[in-house]
A and B are shown apart, each in its own frame.
Chain A
Amino acid sequence: MYRYFIRRIIQAIPVFLGVSLITFALFFIAPGDPARLIAGQRADPEVLALIRKAWGLDQPWWIQYFLFLGRIIRLDFGRSFKTNIPVLESILERFQATAILALFSFIIAIGIGVTAGIISAVKQYSAFDYIAMIIALLGVSAPVYWVGIILLLIFGFNLGWLPLGGYISEYGLKAVILPAIALGTRPAAYFARLARSSMLEVIRQEYIITARSKGVPEKLVIFKHALRNALIPVVTYAGMVVGDLLTGAVLTETIFAWPGLGRLTVQGILDRDLPVIQGTVIFIAFIYIIANLIVDLSYALIDPRIRYE
């Protein structure tokens, strides 16, 4: 068990390094002189030379990469060109908002998606099954920001039940409802489809037939025998959903004026604020890797077949 855990964690290290290398390469080959971006377009040549020296910009690329890696390991993402605030500070401040949004979306996605999927499977070919699966297929196809606009129009403008955007600090938990539903729609739809097909597969297994034929009540068969095994693929998928939530957050936060990482990234792009963009991209990628690592490890906890491989 511990062996598997340790091996899996060690395997993640090259991925971290690869991600940092790709991010570095992307910004290294970016058009424009980074020294000028730091000092301003009209800086003196002497100032530029000083900056190049201070930032190691006069070194060959591989030394620059190691300098970059060293900074990343120390969680030093530099300072924003625009506000001069350390990027890590803004990221951590904004990450809280994105994490809250993602958490609520995740709960909605699991709650609604998995429940609908299980009911669909148990009542296969029923009206519920057809309707739920068509909604799920539409849900997978609907752009997050568009769902957000519809929710805003109905519950914000017309009914006036919920705020039109803004953060918890202003409106309390009411503020999170609409963005969380918008962001949770796609994952909920995925979960529903996945839970359904996985449940259908499990129900046809021989041990379920055995349970039924020896007279176990149907409820017990579904909830105790089938559900546990049917949920394993759902857990695997949870890691991917984190990625979906993080990218979806970029779009959702734009609609709902939610002060999270996504808006920080988009603002960074509009300002051409390279340290902010680089910092957010690498931070989100790292969160994604860690989420997948946690999913893999919990997968091993749930399914003993994995760790004995």
Chain B
Amino acid sequence: MAMNNVLVKQSVRKPRSLWKIAWKRLIKNRLALLGLGIVLLIVLIAIFADWIAPFDPYKVDLSKHLLPPNKEHLLGTDEFGRDILSRIIHGARVSLQIGFFAQVISITLGTILGLIAGFYGGWIDDLIMRIVEILFAFPFLLFVIAVVAVFGPGIQNLYLAVALIGWAGVSRIVRGQVLSLRERDFIASAKAIGASTWRILFKHILPNALSPIIIEATLGMGGMIMLEAGLSFLGLGVQAPTPSWGSMVQSGLAYMRSAWWYPIFPGIVIMIVVFGFNLLGDGLRDALDPRLYV
């Protein structure tokens, strides 16, 4: 009896879930870890902005107009004497929030439409894929600019533009996944025992299509942050006095000759954060690639 137990224990290996394997691979990849570190750091900064920021990001003090970086103001001050570091810290909140919500909109819509197109096929698939093809004919930023031009500047119109066009890429990826999963035996069995279409879609297909969605969501986050920054840089996104990295670069542009730090630092932050999301996305792609499973 005791012998048997030992045997059983040895022969049953601990179940290795996809996510555990992926996590192990991810933390072995140094660049991906760096990306994860940057992302976690900026998320923490955004959450605890009120405590971390050394100054009130809105406090105007004209006596401190355009001070170069110094011991008190590590990254200098802007034309209203506001602390640039504090504005960057609070800008993290604005940029991440907008990037996150924009990404949630595009991933959700893209996943649903991709599931529908791939699963139903036929004319629904044709219709959705034709629309995707047309949306791909618009450069993304240009389309967002057009929407903002028509409906007016501001973040809700950025969300609107993303809802109208941002889902296209995701839906194509999800559709591809669904097409390859649809014909598998486990889907046939699910159908055979009478599972409803929605159950099959969300309980059986979606979990198996999750890794490319996660990769796309991570890589796309950098793109959305860049989009918000670009729009705010053009004066069409986040409006003054709310601090946003893009609008800080824009207002700094006018003073770049006398105050190089003003446009440069917010730009560095944009680059580092987007870099972080890209590294993490690349790392996730390598970690979640099922072709690498042994």
What residues make up the interface of A, taking CB atoms closer than 8 Å to B? 14-15, 18-19, 22-23, 26-27, 30-31, 137-138, 140-143, 145-146, 149-150, 152-153, 157, 243-244, 246-247, 250-251, 254-255, 265-266, 268-270, 272, 274, 277, 281, 284-285, 288-289, 292
* Cβ-defined contact, A137 with B278, below 8 A: yes
Closest Cβ of chain B: how far from A57's Cβ, in Å? 16
The residue that B236 contacts in the complex, of A140, A243, A269, A285, with Cβ under 8 A, is A269
User: Who on chain A is nearest to B135 by CB?
Assistant: A22
In this assembly, does B21 line the interface, its C-beta being within 8 Å of a C-beta of chain A?
no
Q: Which of B121-144 contact A (CB under 8 A)?
A: 130-131, 133-135, 137-143
* Cβ-defined contact, B142 with A284, below 8 A: yes
Stretch at the interface among B47-55, B107-115, B175-183, B255-263: B255-263
Please list 11 pairs of residues, one from A and one from B, whose beta carbons are closer than 8 Å in the complex, sorted by A's number: A14-B134, A23-B146, A31-B152, A137-B279, A141-B226, A143-B233, A149-B253, A153-B264, A246-B139, A266-B234, A277-B146
In this assembly, does B230 line the interface, its C-beta being within 8 Å of a C-beta of chain A?
yes
Asked, given contacts A18-B137, A266-B234, A288-B138, whether A141 binds B271 with beta carbons under 8 Å apart, the answer is yes
* Cβ-defined contact, B145 with A143, below 8 A: no
* Cβ-defined contact, B145 with A15, below 8 A: no
In this assembly, does B26 line the interface, its C-beta being within 8 Å of a C-beta of chain A?
no
Residues of A within 8 A of B222 (CB): 141
Main secondary structure of the interface of A (DSSP, over half): helix
* Cβ-defined contact, B145 with A142, below 8 A: no
The residue that A288 contacts in the complex, of B133, B139, B235, B275, with Cβ under 8 A, is B139
User: Who on chain A is nearest to B141 by CB?
Assistant: A247
Knowing that A14-B134, A26-B150, A149-B267 are A-B contacts, what are 17 other residue pairs whose CB atoms are under 8 Å apart, sorted by A's residue number? A26-B146, A31-B152, A141-B226, A143-B226, A143-B229, A145-B230, A145-B233, A145-B249, A146-B267, A146-B270, A149-B264, A150-B264, A152-B256, A153-B260, A247-B141, A281-B142, A289-B137
* Cβ-defined contact, A244 with B134, below 8 A: no
* Cβ-defined contact, A19 with B257, below 8 A: no
Residues of B within 8 A of A246 (CB): 139, 142
Residues of A within 8 A of B131 (CB): 18
Q: How large is the interface on B (under 10, 10 to 19, 20 to 34, 35 or more residues)?
A: 35 or more
Closest Cβ of chain A: how far from B105's Cβ, in Å? 18
In this assembly, does B274 line the interface, its C-beta being within 8 Å of a C-beta of chain A?
yes
Provide the bound-state CA to CA distance between A305 and B207, in Å.
35
Provide the bound-state CA to CA distance between A68 and B147, in Å.
19
User: Who on chain A is nearest to B131 by CB?
Assistant: A18
* Cβ-defined contact, A251 with B230, below 8 A: yes
Provide the bound-state CA to CA distance between A246 and B146, in Å.
14
Provide the bound-state CA to CA distance between A246 and B257, in Å.
28
Asked, given contacts A26-B146, A30-B151, A141-B274, whether A15 binds B137 with beta carbons under 8 Å apart, the answer is yes
In this assembly, does B39 line the interface, its C-beta being within 8 Å of a C-beta of chain A?
no
* Cβ-defined contact, B278 with A140, below 8 A: yes
Q: How many A-B residue pairs have CB under 8 A?
A: 129
Residues of A within 8 A of B148 (CB): 269
* Cβ-defined contact, A269 with B149, below 8 A: yes
User: Who on chain B is nearest to A130 by CB?
Assistant: B31
Provide the bound-state CA to CA distance between A138 and B35, in Å.
12
* Cβ-defined contact, B145 with A250, below 8 A: yes
Q: Which of A143, A157, A246, A265 has the most CB of B within 10 A?
A: A143
Provide the bound-state CA to CA distance between A14 and B129, in Å.
12
The residue that A143 contacts in the complex, of B130, B260, B271, with Cβ under 8 A, is B271
Q: Which of B229-266 contact A (CB under 8 A)?
A: 229-230, 233-236, 246, 249, 253, 256-257, 260, 263-264
The residue that A137 contacts in the complex, of B137, B233, B234, B275, with Cβ under 8 A, is B275
* Cβ-defined contact, B133 with A138, below 8 A: no
* Cβ-defined contact, A138 with B275, below 8 A: yes
The residue that B257 contacts in the complex, of A157, A268, A272, with Cβ under 8 A, is A157
User: Who on chain A is nearest to B246 by CB?
Assistant: A143
Residues of A within 8 A of B272 (CB): 141
Provide the bound-state CA to CA distance between A30 and B133, in Å.
24
Residues of A within 8 A of B150 (CB): 26-27, 30-31, 274, 277
Residues of A within 8 A of B267 (CB): 142-143, 145-146, 149-150
The residue that A285 contacts in the complex, of B137, B246, B268, with Cβ under 8 A, is B137
Residues of A within 8 A of B137 (CB): 15, 18-19, 285, 288-289, 292
Residues of B within 8 A of A152 (CB): 256
Provide the bound-state CA to CA distance between A140 and B275, in Å.
8
Closest Cβ of chain A: how far from B227's Cβ, in Å? 10
Asked, given contacts A14-B130, A18-B137, A145-B249, whether A251 binds B233 with beta carbons under 8 Å apart, the answer is yes
Provide the bound-state CA to CA distance between A292 and B137, in Å.
9
Q: Which of B137, B140, B257, B268 has the most CB of A within 10 A?
A: B137
* Cβ-defined contact, A19 with B138, below 8 A: yes
